[in-house]
Amino acid sequence: MKTIQPLPRPFKGIVPPMITPLVDENQLDVPGLERLIHHIIAGGVHGLFILGTTGESTSLSYEIRHELVRRTCEIVDGRVPVLVGITDTAATESLRLAETAANAGAAAVVAAPPYYFSLGQPELIEYYEYLAERLSLPLFLYNMPSHTKIIIEPATVKTLSQYDNIVGLKDSSANNAYFNKVMTKMNDRPDFSLFVGPEEIMAESVLLGAHGGVNGGANMFPELYVKLFEAAVSGDMETVKKLHGIVMQISTKMYSLGQFGSSYLKGIKGALSLLGICSDYMASPLHRFREKEREVLAAQLKEIQQQL
């Protein structure tokens, strides 16, 4: 019998956007997946988000996406809530994946706007209403304009929050003005969760009222991000400044290696490989770091570890 971890309202904390360990284009690195999940949960995180941008969701076959959902929920076994990304250009595929998530024991699903046609806000509202009316799990909105070319406007977030099963927003815009407008719009809805993706602004966002972070670096150093979140919640500014400084070193060094649009993801997967946790294989069209970059990454990883 599967164990389901219910979703608190509001949901809070550090929810790592898990990378997807792969052997090749058609095969999950299952032992690596098990090690990675145990590693992340041991760091004290509050949930797990799979099949997001960091999980290379749009590069994975549907077969692997569904398998990842089932295996992740099985390995997690109710220890933390599992959130499943269902973003797709076809609503039917999003709903199929959401059904797999529900059957596997996931706690919620997460959907960015479809990323081919540029939807206006009324169309975007209709799209999310279409999903909400057909989903059996709670739904998080996912604002990712750099990839979808669509912004979920603050007024749209407010409108969609009227649906009982639309329970929160993950914002990866890195736009502080936008996020603060959303928080202001949602002042009367303390049960509606507001998460930020970019870890570089997680602490300040939590200090201003955000509920948590969906931060890629928590794949590598989950305890660091949990401690930073807890320090921000408690207003411990000395600890916030210290730990935020380490997070910024991770960002400026490990995510900026080479001239790649995917350096952030190459850095995380490469570091996890160097830590002996899982494979760093990346689904096409992306590719892992070559030996030269990997050597530099190893030195940077060692430097970060010495500060933890």
Binding annotation: 54, 214
CA distance 108 to 280: 27
142 counts as catalytic: yes
Catalytic residue (choose from 12, 127, 128, 170): 170
Which residue ranges are tagged as binding site for pyruvate?
54, 214
CA-to-CA dists, residue 300 to 130, 270, 303, angstroms: 46, 11, 5
Omega prior to 10 cis, within 30 of 0: yes
116 counts as catalytic: no
CA distance 170 to 239: 25
Q: What angle (nearest 5°) sits at the alpha carbon of residue 180, between those of residues 179 and 186?
A: 90
CA-to-CA dists, residue 128 to 16, 73, 141, 191, 270, angstroms: 24, 25, 8, 19, 35
CA-to-CA dists, residue 165 to 7, 80, 103, 146, 192, angstroms: 11, 19, 17, 26, 10
In DSSP notation, 242-302 reads HHHHHHHHIIIIIS--SS-TTHHHHHHHHHHHHTTSS-----TT-----HHHHHHHHHHHH
CA-to-CA dists, residue 155 to 103, 121, 182, 275, angstroms: 33, 9, 8, 43
Single out the residue of 3, 22, 92 nearest to residue 272, CA to CA: 22
Burial of 258 by CB count in 10 Å (0-12 exposed, 13-18 middle, 19+ buried)? middle
Pairing of strands 22-24, 27-28: antiparallel
Catalytic residue (choose from 12, 127, 128, 142): 142
Pairing of strands 13-14, 212-213: parallel
Q: Are 107 and 79 in contact (CB under 8 A)?
A: no
Positions annotated as catalytic residues are: 142, 170
